[in-house]
Homo-oligomer: A and B are copies of this chain.
Amino acid sequence: MPYVTIKMLAGRTEEQKRACVEKVTDAIVETTGASRDKVVVFLEDMKKSEYAVGGVLLSDEE
């Protein structure tokens, strides 16, 4: 506790993901007072063929 889920388009590097979970965890600890070792982060990759805005798949926009 807390549990954070971050859903974004695939394509981030391992380095970016590592930095992302570290900085997001910092932000949670700083603002909510949760203890750092209790913060859980799940990353979820989306494919452009499984994500639509305004009724159009991102894979069809390119």
A6 touches B17 (CB 8 A): no
Q: Which size bracket describes the interface of A in this complex?
A: 35 or more
In chain A, residues 1-36, which have Cβ atoms closer than 8 Å to a Cβ of chain B? 1-9, 12, 14, 16-28, 30-34, 36
Question: Once the chains are docked, how many angstroms separate the CA of A36 from the CA of B43?
Answer: 19
Question: Once the chains are docked, how many angstroms separate the CA of A54 from the CA of B35?
Answer: 8
A1 touches B5 (CB 8 A): no
Residue A62, interface by CB 8 Å: no
B31 touches A41 (CB 8 A): no
* A–B Cβ pairs within 8 angstroms, 25 of them: A1-B51, A3-B3, A3-B7, A4-B4, A4-B5, A4-B7, A5-B5, A7-B42, A8-B32, A17-B57, A18-B57, A22-B55, A23-B27, A23-B31, A25-B52, A25-B54, A25-B55, A27-B27, A41-B51, A41-B55, A42-B50, A42-B51, A43-B49, A43-B50, A43-B51
